Amino acid sequence: MTPRVSWLALAAVLTLTACATTPPPPPPPVEAGAALPAWLDAALTDPNRPAADMARDANRHPGETVLFSGIKPGMKVADLIPGGGYFTRIFSKAVGPRGRVYAYVPDELSKLAKREPAVNAISRDPAYSNVRVLLSTLPLFSTPERLDVVFTAQNYHDMHADFMGPVDVAAVNRQIYQSLKPGGLYIVIDHSAQPGSGMAAVNGFHRIDPAIVRHEVEAAGFVFDGQGQFLRDPKDKMNVSVFDKSIRGETDQFVYRFRKPGRARR
């Protein structure tokens, strides 16, 4: 079935807070009942996407995610800690042949895994020729060119986890800030921890208090630009690991958008 979205439905799931020096442009208006933009529809229905990825779409809401993230054809995007490449493939088709996707794999993780990154196979696939894998440590985050969007999903908390070092997250966020064009966006999606819990849920539950994320990212110079409600789930009591069978795939997640001050040139 072709994914469909209406402007009213999109407005209902997105809560936007315009805090940037230059207010972001609103999502392109879509008539009620109209199809998604053709480029996004094509990205989601891409026949090269694994069936296992498509099966996750109902819970991960990739259409709303791409629209909220401001990703469009021709953009330069970094998929930070891409895992198996669920979003890497979607971004590749969304930005198209004039765009570029940098799948940034932390060397901290590759050394633990003791195998090549899963996204290497995507970058070698001719269907995703605009994907380039970058392998380096997180505090040395950088890309060959300035970016429109840096995106990370379900992994920000890992930077605070013991198994990752932990990482100097302040340095990572500063590097991301430097990598973006003026007006560029930093998107953070992660599993919610109970408000006020600080870092207590990072190691055991693989969650993080959204307030911690906002504080850290704003400290790097970003301005908070909005939050999406489309991955919230009130059934999640946030008191078990995200890998627990009772909640896996249905956790409450926050979707934060931050903007580097300045006027975007697009």
Tens digit of pLDDT for each residue in 94-118?
999 999 999 999 988 777 767 789 9
In a domain, 150, yes or no: yes
pLDDT at 6 over 50: no
116-127 per-residue burial string, b: 16 or more CB within 10 A, e: under 16: ebbbbebbeeee
Q: Which of 55, 100, 57, 58 is nearest to 77 (CA)?
A: 100
In a domain, 264, yes or no: no
Count of residues for the chain? 266
Give the whole-angstrom CA distance, residue 43 versus residue 92.
Answer: 8
In a domain, 182, yes or no: yes
Q: Which of 131, 129, 121, 199 is nearest to 166 (CA)?
A: 199
Whole-number percent of the chain with pLDDT over 90: 79
- The pLDDT, as a whole number, for residue 108 is 82
Confidence bin at 236 (pLDDT 50/70/90): very high
CA-based end-to-end distance of the chain:
32
In a domain, 116, yes or no: yes
Out of 160-169, 174-183, 189-198, 225-234, pick the least confident.
160-169
Average pLDDT on 210-220 reads 98
What's the whole-model pTM score? 0.86
Domain harbouring 41, CATH code: 3.40.50.150
For tokens 């800030």, what's the residue?
Answer: 177
pLDDT at 35 over 90: no
In a domain, 250, yes or no: yes
Tens digit of pLDDT for each residue in 60-82?
999 999 999 999 999 999 999 99
In a domain, 2, yes or no: no
pLDDT at 19 over 70: no
- The pLDDT, as a whole number, for residue 179 is 98
Number of domains in the chain: 1
In a domain, 265, yes or no: no
Average pLDDT on 22-33 reads 43
User: Per the structure block, which two tokens stand in for 32?
Assistant: 């009620």
In a domain, 136, yes or no: yes
Average pLDDT on 47-54 reads 97
Average pLDDT on 168-176 reads 97
Q: To the nearest whole number, what is the mean pLDDT of the chain?
A: 88
Task: Give the residue numbers spanning the domain of 94.
Answer: 7-259
